A and B are shown apart, each in its own frame.
Chain A
Amino acid sequence: MQGYEVSIEIPPRRGLLDLRGNAAIRLICNEQLGGDLPLAANRLACLPGNKLAYCISPDHWLLQVEEGDEGPVLRSLEQAAGQTFHAFTDVSDLYAQIRLSGPDVREVLVQGVSIDIHPRVFPAGSTARCEFAKTTAQLTCLETASVFEIAVYSSYQRYAIDWLTQAQGR
């Protein structure tokens, strides 16, 4: 059959917070969120309340929350952080998420992602900021090795979907 067997979907909208801060801020966030923000770069951590934390760098996380929770969570974190140096920002509209699943998902991704996404190197629970089809994206391998999400800046959403559709080859 022509092309690759991959499903391209836009997942349900979710809230997204950009968290910057040092170790003290991380501890404050951990307490507020009821779970630990991951310390290992490029790894995900599931937190209570259906939250997902992405470790971008030692002082940088993305926190995915249910749609509509971004405001309350942001306010509670702000309140807890107080005067400790930090930067929490609502970036729910900054990124557009695209979900890819199916047996050929890596066949499609390797056409535009220059990093190594072999399951040995990029197993489920991995995330990385990387080049994707001449743009920048946050690539995440979700719970199974054949489900990925790509977060592109929202102005690139149409391009990214068009690009993925052609990469699908159908």
Chain B
Amino acid sequence: MGRVDRSRPITFRFNGQTYSGFVGDTLASALLANGVMLVGRSIKYHRPRGIMSAGVEETNAIVQLLGDEDEPNVVATTLPLYQGLEASSVNGRPDSRFDARAINDVLHRFIPAGFYYKTFMWPDNRWDWYSRFIRRIAGWGTAPQKASGGRYEHRYHHCDVLVVGAGPAGLAATLAAGRAGARVLLVDNQTEAGGSVLGSSAMINSAPAMRWVESATTELAAMPEVVRLTEATAVGYYKQNFVTVLEQRPDRHWLRERLWKVRARRVVLATGAIERPLTFPDNDKPGVMLASAVTTYCFRYGVKPGRTAVVFTNNNRSYRHAIEIAEHGIHVAAIVDLRKSPDTGLCEEALARGIEVLRSSHVVSVKGSHRVTGVGVAIATDKSIREFHCDLLAVSGGWDPAVHLHSQSGGKPVYDESIASFIPGKSVQQERPAGACRGELRLAKALADGYAAGAEAAALCGHVGVPVESFDCPAEPCLGILPVWDVPTARKAARAFVDFNNDVTSKDIRLAVREGYRSVELVKRYTTAGMGLDQGKSSNVNVIGLIAEISATPPGTVGTTTYRPAYSPVSFGAMAGTDNGQLIFPWRRTPITDWFIANGGHLDETGALFRRPLYIAKPKETASDAIEREALAVRNAAGIYDSTPLGKISIKGPDAVKFLNRVYTNAWDKLPVGRCKFGYMLHDDGRLLDDGVTFRLSEEHYVMSTGSGVADIVLRHLERLLHCEWPDLEVYLTPVSDQFAVICVCGPQARLVMQQAGIDIDISREAFRFFDTGFCKVAGLDARLSRVTYTGELSFEIEVPSRNGLKLWKALMEAGADYGITPVGSDTSMLLRTEKGFIAAGLEGDGHANIHDVGMGWVVASDKGDFIGKRSTERDINAGGTRPQVVGLLPQDPTFVPPKGTPIIEPGETCESRESIGMVTIGFHSPALGYPIALAQLSDGRSRLGDTVTLYTGERTVSARVCEPVFLDPDGERMRS
């Protein structure tokens, strides 16, 4: 009675009806057991469709899961039944029994392949309009309306041997590799091992094959280095033997799906073969089922999909299926064989079971609408038509090895005449197909092949000594297939479906070839054959065979399409894993971040994934009010901001100066200990890479600060130079960005704040000058103090080990309370640097700009040796022309603050004829000045100081005067004070 557990009943709902099934059923088997064959409608013609297969190749039984497990397009033939499962058909309105859109089937002559391309292309660009209506008619399930409650997980896995498929060959391969001591991962998309023998009466070593399967799985379970996954599909095969495996329902209670990222030294592809349907008129009616699926439902699930069957075939293998079907109590009225001379022994066996064998015959008609009620069979020998009453038509058009993963790995499948299908070609990666996957359909040979493949893979990983194993199975005749790609019919209106998923008929394929599409790739795109949910698992070879037949070309010459991941659908949940919500990015924090959150900081990502406050608003304060308040505090009293995210690289060694001279444009020989200076770092081609201050802490020790967002890039750049270009230099780099918290106190009252905080060194203007750096104690904490600025104000930058960052921040806030100290966000500091005209390497230096463009050509030391970007810099300065150069802009409308990116056009140009001559890089209303200011890149800007240009916002134009890019304190009195 099958392998379901009849002691554990389950209730479920389908299309609003309640049914019962058992643990071990799939939704499809349970529906069949309840007499439900009609499961939906087809995508284009809305024809009634029934369960066609028993596996992943199913094209018709596509359902929408409802309730908490809301998920579209689930294949009912692979969905294990569970208590409370609720599903519905994805097509069929109002329901699958009556679908109003079946009118398309009546109108089928007017909507053949290519109809969309020809019909909806006029007027130009109206496809979007049409598609609104078409998408309502076509399509499958609907996207879930709420987030999935289940957990989706990713995991990495490494193994010696990955075996894909737990059928006979895969199990044998795993046994061999496991016995050799290799680390093996065995994955299979079924709920239990056995593959093809789950649905057959096959024998291994004189016992039922499933007994051998159970013995093998027991042995494997005892091997600590063998991991076996069920309901796990290898969906993608990428370079370097990287295979992704989608494991479904690892734990029903809390883990919905798990995506394995497997790196295997060797891969054994024991993916089996998929039975393909025959192409004949009305071959899509409910009750037409693959012959192997019928036996699977009988053997594995104990379900009879019908009472009376006719078997329609072109090969020997389905005789065994016909006999097995009969053994299960289904009356087999006849075997309709396209061949003239089937295997004699099988014929005799069938006849002995009372099954009539009709040679050189074919099905010409299928009766019934929502369920097969009979078939008409053309008998070639006497040219007669015989009618058979049946409710099941079991078909077999041959077997297609599942070459998908082989193709994904880079291999090219080749045509094998003996099975009239494609088998894996030469392996490109460390991969070997085995068993039915390489066309070996006979059980004994598949087992032996699998075992050899496993032993070989293990040996190649250094694990040898596999014991010899033999497999004794009853003799099987060869497939003896007669490929017939389109069963002949005299009825002109008859349609034979090639791709059930996308409603593609053999006529569509013929039309495509007639219209000049000979390449299988083009036929596929024109007709959509093979592009449905099943990705052509059951249709690809029939399409290829048909093209070959029409164009009188061998199928091997036509070739296959390129199979691409994923082998079967992968949910978005599985792709995302747990990387969602706050964990979607690895957000970084400084020691002060929590303080900002607690005190009104509006956080955003401000480079290198640091979460920093843009501003720190008081209750009910707007963003612009907060920024203005903070900016005025810095200009008039004292501000404090968190500079921790800046990159920091410790540079040590006797050649450190030489190194700095080579990576920066300016000279570093004369920088004394205890001083720092600004530097510009260039790419080889002269483009600006970074700017920052470097501090000399001792004779051979410097600390370079970099932009937050480029800290890693600069480190890689410098390490590459040391390792590849200048290995002779004695310099070590140590990234120390997160070692220190850096806090800056700035503004005219900054010195008083520092003194109030208990600084233990003399920080008067004379004793501690601008660009000095030195060690001290502040608030009792060991620190390094520097006179550098990003705001143009008197500034003290204090660096402490990060564990002391928050302690220092709070001490400074307390010390500055009487001086109006105000926390400042990054938007405010951006405003302050704009007023001062300080360049931001990521804005004014936008990846294209060179050092002359940003007005910093004077920071190039002409009298020193070579440095990175020197040649390009010298060439650029001589090139002249119209490169964008950084300038200041003063909008003439005092209410207009130009947004970042505003295009600049010549005065007098209209918006329609505009040609941009530059763009605004940043613009603010300056609270200190009382009017708007901006920095911009302007073509040949330095020669246009004093000119008027036009800013174009898309809605209006505003005049702006071009000026020096320094709006406040051009002589730097404030910062040097």
The answer to whether B255 and A110 touch across the interface, beta carbons within 8 angstroms, is no
Q: State the Cβ distance, A142 to closest chain B Cβ, in Å.
A: 21
The answer to whether B590 and A89 touch across the interface, beta carbons within 8 angstroms, is no
Distance in angstroms between the alpha carbons of A110 and B183 in the assembled complex: 16
Which of A31-39, A40-48, A114-122 forms part of the interface with chain B?
A: A114-122
The answer to whether B739 and A133 touch across the interface, beta carbons within 8 angstroms, is no
What per-residue 1/0 map shows which CB atoms of B638-664 lie under 8 Å from chain A?
000000110000101110000000000
Distance in angstroms between the alpha carbons of A110 and B737 in the assembled complex: 28
Interface residues of A in 122-170 (CB under 8 A from B): 133-135, 153-159, 162-163, 166-167, 169
The answer to whether A110 and B155 touch across the interface, beta carbons within 8 angstroms, is yes
Distance in angstroms between the alpha carbons of A106 and B151 in the assembled complex: 19
Q: Check A92 for interface membership: any CB of B closer than 8 A.
A: yes
Q: Which residue of A lies closest to B261 (CB)?
A: A114
Q: Check B117 for interface membership: any CB of A closer than 8 A.
A: no
The answer to whether B585 and A153 touch across the interface, beta carbons within 8 angstroms, is no
Distance in angstroms between the alpha carbons of A108 and B151 in the assembled complex: 14
Contacts of A169 in B (CB 8 A): 151, 153, 254-255
Q: Check A52 for interface membership: any CB of B closer than 8 A.
A: no
Contacts of B730 in A (CB 8 A): 85
Contacts of B737 in A (CB 8 A): 94, 153, 155
Q: Which residue of A lies closest to B610 (CB)?
A: A155
Q: State the Cβ distance, B699 to closest chain A Cβ, in Å.
A: 10
Q: Check A113 for interface membership: any CB of B closer than 8 A.
A: yes
Q: Which residue of A lies closest to B158 (CB)?
A: A116
Q: Which residue of B lies closest to A110 (CB)?
A: B155
The answer to whether A110 and B156 touch across the interface, beta carbons within 8 angstroms, is yes
Q: Check B154 for interface membership: any CB of A closer than 8 A.
A: yes
Contacts of B151 in A (CB 8 A): 169
Contacts of A91 in B (CB 8 A): 734, 736, 739
Distance in angstroms between the alpha carbons of A158 and B590 in the assembled complex: 10
The answer to whether A153 and B738 touch across the interface, beta carbons within 8 angstroms, is yes
Q: Check A18 for interface membership: any CB of B closer than 8 A.
A: yes
Q: Which residue of B lies closest to A108 (CB)?
A: B155
A3 with B653: in contact, given A20-B732, A91-B734, A163-B583 (CB under 8 Å)?
Answer: no
Q: State the Cβ distance, A84 to closest chain B Cβ, in Å.
A: 10
Q: Check A9 for interface membership: any CB of B closer than 8 A.
A: no
Interface size on B, residues (CB 8 A): 44
Q: Check B878 for interface membership: any CB of A closer than 8 A.
A: no
Distance in angstroms between the alpha carbons of A77 and B653 in the assembled complex: 16
Q: Check B157 for interface membership: any CB of A closer than 8 A.
A: yes
A85 with B183: in contact, given A94-B738, A111-B578, A166-B583 (CB under 8 Å)?
Answer: no
A20 with B734: in contact, given A87-B652, A167-B578 (CB under 8 Å)?
Answer: yes
Q: Check A99 for interface membership: any CB of B closer than 8 A.
A: no
* Cross-interface CB contact of B589 among A2, A85, A107, A155, cutoff 8 Å: A155
Contacts of A112 in B (CB 8 A): 154
Q: Check B94 for interface membership: any CB of A closer than 8 A.
A: no
Q: State the Cβ distance, B504 to closest chain A Cβ, in Å.
A: 41
Q: State the Cβ distance, A99 to closest chain B Cβ, in Å.
A: 18
Q: Check B801 for interface membership: any CB of A closer than 8 A.
A: yes
Q: State the Cβ distance, A144 to closest chain B Cβ, in Å.
A: 18
Q: Check B740 for interface membership: any CB of A closer than 8 A.
A: yes
Distance in angstroms between the alpha carbons of A118 and B155 in the assembled complex: 13
Interface residues of B in 888-928 (CB under 8 A from A): none
Contacts of B154 in A (CB 8 A): 111-112
Q: Check B954 for interface membership: any CB of A closer than 8 A.
A: no
Contacts of A162 in B (CB 8 A): 582-583
Distance in angstroms between the alpha carbons of A114 and B157 in the assembled complex: 8
Q: Check A86 for interface membership: any CB of B closer than 8 A.
A: yes
Interface residues of A in 64-110 (CB under 8 A from B): 85-87, 89-95, 107, 110
Contacts of A120 in B (CB 8 A): 183
Contacts of A3 in B (CB 8 A): 254
Q: Check B959 for interface membership: any CB of A closer than 8 A.
A: no
Q: Which residue of B lies closest to A157 (CB)?
A: B589
The answer to whether B650 and A87 touch across the interface, beta carbons within 8 angstroms, is yes
List 10 interface pairs A-B (beta carbons < 8 Å), by A numbering.
A89-B734, A107-B155, A111-B155, A133-B586, A154-B739, A155-B737, A156-B586, A158-B589, A163-B578, A166-B578
B residues adjacent to A (C-beta < 8 A): 151, 153-158, 183, 251, 253-255, 261, 263, 577-579, 582-583, 585-590, 610, 644-645, 650, 652-654, 730, 732, 734-740, 801-803
In order of increasing CB-CB distance, the 5 nearest A-B pairs are A87-B732, A116-B158, A87-B652, A155-B588, A94-B739
